[in-house]
Structure 1
Amino acid sequence: MQRVLIVGPCGAGKSTLSAELGPILGLPVYHMDQLNWKPGWVESNKDEIREKLAAITATDRWLIDGTYGGTLAERLERADTVLYLDYPIRLCVARLLRRIWKFRGRARPDMTEGCPERFDLGFLFYLLQWNSGPKIRLERRLKGHEHKIIRFADPIQLKRWLDSHSA
């Protein structure tokens, strides 16, 4: 595993996993949220993100967390492994709400400084509709890459896999 992509719904734990797995594999970690957001919750334009990603994915070793469908194709092409956190949405909602509470008013470690954690009703609705829209689009984009996907249905499965890789 030299070029790893972590995808899944919001709140699944993609950034938490990357923070743990990056050092185990000795890979530099990149967070799509940091690549996308500028201070004050200003979103980068697609060309800026693609330019940043091109520089990262051109290298031989990286770990990128974040689904971000608009740039997934480029990352998928170069990834040798895709870790898919395909968790129940009720778990992701609980984790998202816990994250919002924990980091309220300040930027979390995987986010751009100047983007304090906040409750966003639209974002919550996006997550609640994950299975009927975003998940379908993600799985469509993953077609043809099944040979490099490791899918985890719950955190226990992921922990077992992590334990087998950190020994």
Structure 2
Amino acid sequence: MTDILPLAQLGRRIMVTGPTNAGKSTLTVALADKLGVPAYHVDLFRHLPHTDWEPRPTEDFHALHAAAIAEPEWVMDGNYSEILPQRLARATGIVVVDAPLLSRYVRYFKRTLQRQRVGALEGGKDSIKWDMIHWLWHTRGTAEAHRKLASETGLPAVFCRDQRDVAALCAAWDLRLSLS
């Protein structure tokens, strides 16, 4: 893990990024609770509530994202390269979260089958999807790209390579994770 900066150095608009199912949403809620700011999950902007992750029309997705990043304070998780530049332009700090691929698969199956997920769709009807299983495999090596992007922004950044690093971050910043 990189040195853990004081949380205050990341400012009041923090992006949490990293590969799918690495624990971004869980950390986002803990950070937002600690700072007393809104937690936003970009997946919820992208997908319609009361569905099994059906995508929203692109223009609605972009509008919801634009409205959220315009807020003065937030912690926001998610990637979505098409809107990432706008979020980076507003962010004051970045946390990159990673986890081993096997852990990411276990998290996906557990939270989907148990229907317990931080950042779940309102009224969602989650199910195991081959597209997601494939996506996890396809994105298995993207953590380095997330770390590189964060480093290139010049923003204060913290990098967690696994759940041990997340635990150390939580201890340093006195964060309480709700389990997902």
Give the TM-score category using the shorter length: 0.7 to 0.9
**Structure-1 residue corresponding to 2:159:** 151
Of residues 41, 56, 60 in structure 2, which corresponds to 1:31? 41
Higher mean displacement: 46-55 or 58-67: 46-55
Distance 2:95 2:147 in 1: 13
Residues 136 and 166 of structure 1: is their aligned pair in 2 closer, same or farther, counting only changes over 3 Å?
A: closer
**Structure-2 residue corresponding to 1:127:** 136
5+ residue gaps, structure 1: none
Structure 1 segments of 4 or more deviating over 6 A?
none
Deviation track 1:72-119 (CA, whole Å, cap 9, x = no partner) reads 11111111111111221111111111111211xxx8452222321110
Distance 1:18 1:164 in 2: 16
The alpha carbon displacement at 1:47 in A equals 2.0
* Percent identity of paired positions between Structure 1 and Structure 2: 23
Distance 1:136 1:163 in 2: 24
Q: TM-score, normalised by structure 1?
A: 0.85
Of residues 2, 15, 22 in structure 2, which corresponds to 1:5? 15
Distance 1:137 1:46 in 2: 25
Q: TM-score, normalised by structure 2?
A: 0.80
Task: Give RMSD over aligned pairs.
Answer: 2.2
Task: Name the SS for the 1:9 alignment partner.
Answer: coil
Of residues 65, 71, 89 in structure 1, which corresponds to 2:83? 71
* Number of equivalent positions: 163
Distance 1:73 1:19 in 2: 22
